Amino acid sequence: MADFFRPDLNDLPAYVAGRNPDDPGVIKVASNEMPFPTLSGVSAALAGRLGDLGRYPDWGSAALKEAIAAFHQTSVANVAVGNGSSALIEKFLQAVCTPGGEVVFPWRSFEAYPIAIRVAGGVPVKVPLRDDGRLDLARMLDAITARTRAVLVCTPNNPTGAALHHGELHRFLRSVPREIPVLIDEAYVDFLEMDDPVRGVELSREFPNAISLRTFSKAYGLAGLRIGYAVGMEGVVAGLDKVATPFSVNTLAQTAATAALQQRGEVERRVGIIKAERAKLVSALRALEWDGPDPQGNFIWFGLGEESERFARRCESEKIIVRTFAGEGVRVTVAGPEASLRIVRAYRAFRS
């Protein structure tokens, strides 16, 4: 890195993306992508905009905000749109962090969190997960101090897949000082299948410091276009809009996301397929004494510690690319029957 960059960035961890296969026979289950073609309505809508790309996109994302507001039965003033939910995380942290200000978040969780906090000038405060892979809300509360500028909550948690119940997150928010914002990252909300699931948008209506964060990359299958949104009180959205990069949400992304919301029935059908495949995969793995957290995202976590690399190599021998977190575990995306077959085969061989 060149000398003129901030010296504190020298030890900043680099984000590690899932590796793309270079062999057509290899299945990638490393990035939690949906294994389906682009929604037909999205493809048609995009085709209609290809001749209009010489003009800047709608700065306010008006049509998309209206569609999101209608979907959540809220006001346009309560919706912020960004170039992926990760960009909204970055902008949120830039807006709230002060030099030396702390941001409390669970760990292991989304690996972009500590990077974005450091870049924003904040101090990451990692709170270890419980032994069952769930967020330890009691310890997160204990970690809040006079220096705390924000709290990040990921549910379902990436990469462990464990999810909070609405009641426990509600109690947590009642205990967090109102001057400290809580960003609820619900990237995998569509894959929930549990009693009393978290309803982040509902919490954002009740608590002025709660913000629900959603993405179009997962259930909607628009990872290649990078678009996400946040729902919160008007003052929260105004703050996010103030620090937004001009025209960062491109025309095709806005068009695709708006069209995707109109195909909610097909989205739910596809999500149902993934949930069913997840249940089959979990059952097969449990039979092999896999004891990971009950997965509530479109992925499964193998908390293998120092054995993670060995399992990843075994998966590669089955022509399947997984996401390895060195020394901690391996995350695999629920994709389809063939991918599941290979994962089970790899895990059986790994345990033998």
**pLDDT tens, 226-283?**
999 999 999 999 999 999 989 999 999 999 999 999 999 999 999 999 999 999 999 9
Backbone angles phi and psi of 101, in degrees to 5:
-70, 140
Please state, in angstroms and as integers, the Cα–Cα distance from residue 43 to each residue in 6, 105, 194, 253, 255, following that order. Answer: 42, 37, 33, 11, 10
Backbone angles phi and psi of 151, in degrees to 5:
-130, 135
Domains and CATH numbers, the chain: 7-38+264-351 (3.90.1150.10), 40-261 (3.40.640.10)
Q: Scanning the structure block, which residue is given the tokens 């990692």?
A: 126
Under a CB-based contact definition with an 8 Å cutoff, are residues 147 and 141 in contact? no
- Better pLDDT: 22 or 238: 238
What would the pLDDT profile of 123-162 be if each residue is shown by its tens digit? 999 999 999 999 999 999 999 999 999 999 999 999 999 9
* 323-325 vs 329-333, strand pairing mode: antiparallel
Angle between helix 337-351 and 264-286 (nearest 10): 20
Q: Which of 158, 235, 151 is nearest to 189 (CA)?
A: 158
Distance in angstroms (rounded) separating the CA atoms of residues 254 and 303: 37
Angle between helix 308-317 and 337-351 (nearest 10): 130
Distance in angstroms (rounded) separating the CA atoms of residues 196 and 184: 16
177 three-class SS:
coil
Q: Which of 90, 153, 154 is nearest to 122 (CA)?
A: 90
Hey, what are 241's tokens? 């809009």
